[in-house]
Chain A
Amino acid sequence: MADVKKVATRESYGNALVELGAEYPNLVVLDADLAAATKTGVFKKAYPDRHIDCGIAECNMTGIAAGLSTMGKIPFVSSFAMFAAGRAFEQVRNSIGYPHLNVKIGATHAGITVGEDGASHQCNEDIALMRSIPGMVVMCPADDIEARAAVRAAAEYVGPVYMRFGRAACPVINDRPDYKFEIGKGTVVREGSDVTIVATGICVGSALEAAEKLAEEGISAEVINICTIKPLDEEVIINSAKKTGKVVTAEEHSVIGGLGSAVCDALCKSYPVPVMKIGMQDVFGESGSAAALVEKYKLDGKGVYEQVKDFLK
């Protein structure tokens, strides 16, 4: 996939905000001294009066967003996933989730592809935290196209939304004319019959790469892209499980509480099949390049391929 176009989804976030800023005069963007990194800087340039830098105070930023939304604004709260979902968890839960306010949280630098900064900044727990809040929509786009579509959908949707973006550039996989995005809809991106790989975020690209390798060995893998982890498209997953009888989940997140857990929740109540969860295996990350880390923690195409093969033995 060497010549495939690559874009970091945090870039997509910033660019989508600029586009939406023109359509929604009540859209405001909040940041906590990370505008350059979260890519909201481009929005700040286009709409300086609607970009609110709160300084390094994520809990207050979250509360300010709640207050703004009660006045009719559509606030997009931006920070690293570690702080947006981690540090400010209780503010998100009580000031946004409980009153079900129309606040969007754009969390960049999620997962281990934060890279060199190391474990303190690599948030592998945000999906688990956010999906535990009643009424919260949780999205983790796979590429630039999906990320921009998700940000637009978040602006159109009324209610709290958590969006997860990455720091590192990742391949564009949804570049096709019939691409459509809908909150809560999963997509079969490759059909197969021996095993289902349900993936989210950067792991969708890895799953497709793995499926290609598996095909060379006569193993037919179906790949499902789940952007919206909550509410989960249970139907697309169960239908595939009925066909293949075996499910693998793949995510750049802890195997505790993330996509894997959500998929297991869905399957165990209506169509239990063996499931293997690929992700961070209850460990912290470490410093290194994004590429070196996804290789070490087996979240790249090769890693997913090897683990699926082991699972099928």
Chain B
Amino acid sequence: MNNLELKKIANEVRKGIVTAVHSAKAGHPGGSLSAADIYTYLYFEEMNIDPKNPKKEDRDRFVLSKGHTAPGLYSTLANRGYFPVEDLTTLRKLGSYLQGHPSMQYIPGVDMSSGSLGQGISAAVGMALAAKMDEKDIRVYTLLGDGEIQEGQVWEAAMFAGHRKLDNLVVIVDNNGLQIDGPIDQVCSPYPIDKKFEAFNFHVINLDDAHDFDKIRAAFKEARETKGMPTAIIAHSLKGKGVSFMEGNVAWHGTAPNDEQYAVAMADLEKIGEELNKEGEA
């Protein structure tokens, strides 16, 4: 898939995020939007998966350790064909299978229930270890928040993954720089993130623009070529990416847009979509 196609899909994923959160009147748009390009690349390009057979045994696995950005995952899964895009408007509502945080029991394509920060990475490590024990060619991806890595369990998991040389594991840190209480370096700085993972025996890739598909592609290629150690991709991203008033604004970490704001957000994304169409025609 070329970059333009990926960009168009990522834009649709963003529309789904905003629509789902608006409909739910709750949820986490900021960190969903910052990771939309990563989600898109994983599910449309990188991972060995089959939406028609979500439980396919030899599939690659994805664990959303930063489970609160479920709208991003759900919108990606829906756009990939795991379930209807229209269902995104049932997010967080009573009776919907689209729970506030990912649930593997109810949602096609979700490989692990998550939401309590710091826990998803451990499950991903367990999956990568099982694949190694069985000598199966299965890769495991897990997405963490940069605030999430303040949890001690993340480093327990990182130590184990490094120790076991799990080179089928890719840890992606969505480094958008903001957590609920403010900038991560003001709340309790996890920096330097790259050096920390290096110290835990990871191969570290600094992805300096997590919205540039050439760079995303290169990062995942490098991860795939890395042998003898797990990879950490530090993905430098913009929180709220794509929606003008949400970009870089911590207020949109866990707030839903009202009707008026929703109209502005969708207009922003429609405009991006039109520009991408023009780019295609040119």
Report A's interface with B, CB cutoff 8 A: 28, 49-50, 52, 54-55, 57, 59-60, 62-73, 75, 90-91, 94-95, 98-100
Known A-B contacts A67-B125, A68-B127, A100-B105; the reply to A55 vs B160 at CB < 8 A is yes
Report B's interface with A, CB cutoff 8 A: 61, 63, 103-105, 111-113, 115-116, 118-131, 133-134, 152-153, 156-157, 159-160, 163
Known A-B contacts A59-B122, A59-B156, A63-B125; the reply to A99 vs B130 at CB < 8 A is no
Pairs A-B, 9 closest by C-beta atoms? A67-B126, A63-B122, A71-B130, A60-B156, A67-B123, A57-B156, A64-B126, A99-B113, A67-B127
**Bound complex: CA of A54 vs CA of B133, how far in Å?**
15
- Flag if B160 contacts A60 (CB, 8 Å): yes
Known A-B contacts A57-B160, A90-B116, A99-B113; the reply to A67 vs B104 at CB < 8 A is no
**Bound complex: CA of A90 vs CA of B112, how far in Å?**
16
Nearest Cβ distance between residue A207 and chain B, in whole angstroms? Answer: 40
In the assembled complex, which residues on chain B have CB atoms less than 8 Å from the CB atom of A54? Answer: 160
**Bound complex: CA of A60 vs CA of B123, how far in Å?**
8
Nearest Cβ distance between residue B245 and chain A, in whole angstroms? Answer: 33
- Flag if A63 contacts B103 (CB, 8 Å): no
- Flag if A67 contacts B160 (CB, 8 Å): no
- Flag if B103 contacts A64 (CB, 8 Å): no
- Flag if B153 contacts A95 (CB, 8 Å): no
Nearest Cβ distance between residue B123 and chain A, in whole angstroms? Answer: 4
* Closest residue on chain A to residue B118 by CB atoms: A59
- Flag if A64 contacts B119 (CB, 8 Å): no
- Flag if B122 contacts A99 (CB, 8 Å): no
- Flag if A98 contacts B126 (CB, 8 Å): no
**Bound complex: CA of A55 vs CA of B160, how far in Å?**
8
* Closest residue on chain B to residue A57 by CB atoms: B156
In the assembled complex, which residues on chain B have CB atoms less than 8 Å from the CB atom of A28? Answer: 133
In the assembled complex, which residues on chain B have CB atoms less than 8 Å from the CB atom of A70? Answer: 61, 104, 111-112, 123, 126-127
